[in-house]
Amino acid sequence: MNLAELERLEIESVLEEIGVPRFHGRQIFRWIYRRGVTSFNEMTDLSLALRAKLAEATTIESPSVSEQQTSSDGTTKLNLRLADDRHIESVYIPDTPAQTFCVSTQVGCAMACGFCLTGTMGLLRQLTAGEIAGQVRVLAHTTKLADSAFNIVLMGMGEPLHNYDATMKALRILADPDGLALHPKRMTLSTVGLLPALERLATEPLMPNLAISLHATTDEARSRLVPINKRYPIEELMAALRRFPLAKRRRITFEYVLLAGVNDTPDDARRLVRLLNGLRAKVNLLPLNEAPGIPFTRPSDERVNAFARILAERDVRVSVRKSRGRDIRAACGQLVVEGQKPSTRRRLAEAHDVN
């Protein structure tokens, strides 16, 4: 049994099953998440006999850093190796006052958005809860930020709502006060808007901030850029978001990648204002991060500013995302691990009933 896949109470149950008092579960959980220790040998407040017994009956798996690259702006990208030799990418974005970790939820992604490099990989496999939470653990301890305030954004590789159970379990592990104690206010889940999963999210006791990858204002345009729109069109998505239970003072973020000549006209901006009417929303404009093989270009700064101004003048909160880590391909939509064969892509996509 791999203890890194379990919530604290589940660890306690495993201990009970192997005849170890439950209270050691909290100690072990603290070692793993607060101290970043994944070897029983180093858990010095457990007796030697207990450490030996645990090592015999259980394991603690951890993604391992196989490559680390730091951008000129301080953004650091980790290439992490998983137990089955698959690789994923996770990013540390330093900023003041808060630091942000951007983590992946899948190896690759099945959504195939037209401007996203990860989408070109297809879905290779789902990440487990332990692998999702493990990225945050490794990032927090690699950067020595485990004891300070940080945010996480599920904006790395993958579509979190297409890996629902593992994603939510990872968030519960990260929120545990005996571990990294990450407040849900510091978590952001970004999604293309898989409606059944979004309805389910609306009922969760642990509620992260919500970001919606909208990217277009008509179904025709959105279906071309974000193919899942054919199944869950804009009007249904917006209706679900209007029903979504928002805590006080929280807003839904709408991400909008700006593509020159495609979705960046003043008409698009005005349609976006109308779509958001009556919603507690903020818009995050993402001028395209260009990449080889992506058939779109980034609009000029003037064009981006003109789009932002139309929103701001109509009282829509808007920000333009600073692109971080572009020189090491760590920016939005640039995470991709080359050389991994999409052998299971079709099978997985079918199993999850997408595409």
Residues that bind ligand SAH (CB under 6 A): 111, 113, 115-116, 155, 159, 190-192, 213, 255, 257, 286, 288-289, 294, 332-333
Phi, psi of 100, deg, nearest 5:
-125, 135
- If the CB atoms of residues 111 and 127 are measured against ligand SAH, the closer one turns out to be 111
Minimal distance, residue 99 CB to ligand SAH, in Å: 18
- If the CB atoms of residues 182 and 294 are measured against ligand SAH, the closer one turns out to be 294
Minimal distance, residue 34 CB to ligand SAH, in Å: 28
Catalytic (active site) residue 109: no
Catalytic (active site) residue 332: yes
Residues 6+ apart with CB under 8 A from 185: 209
Per-residue buried b or exposed e for 147-169, using 16+ beta carbons within 10 Å of the residue's own CB? eeebbbbbbbbbbbbbbbebbbb
- If the CB atoms of residues 32 and 281 are measured against ligand SAH, the closer one turns out to be 281
As a whole number of angstroms, the longest Cα–Cα distance in the chain is 70
With contact defined as beta carbons under 8 Å apart, do 342 and 121 qualify?
A: yes
Minimal distance, residue 105 CB to ligand SAH, in Å: 7
- If the CB atoms of residues 11 and 189 are measured against ligand SAH, the closer one turns out to be 189
CB neighbours (10 Å) of residue 263?
27
- If the CB atoms of residues 108 and 179 are measured against ligand SAH, the closer one turns out to be 108
Rounded CA separation 108/127 (Å): 10
- If the CB atoms of residues 234 and 257 are measured against ligand SAH, the closer one turns out to be 257
Minimal distance, residue 78 CB to ligand SAH, in Å: 17
- With CB atoms as reference, the residue minimizing the distance to ligand SAH is 333
Q: How far is CA 305 from CA 38, 193, 252, 266, 341, in A?
A: 48, 27, 22, 11, 40
Q: Are strands 150-154 and 187-191 parallel, antiparallel or unpaired?
A: parallel
Minimal distance, residue 332 CB to ligand SAH, in Å: 3
Minimal distance, residue 296 CB to ligand SAH, in Å: 8
Catalytic residue among 5, 7, 89, 159: 89
Phi, psi of 131, deg, nearest 5:
-75, -35
Structure tokens at 104: 């992946």
- Rg of the chain in Å (alpha carbons): 21
Active site residues per annotation: 89, 332
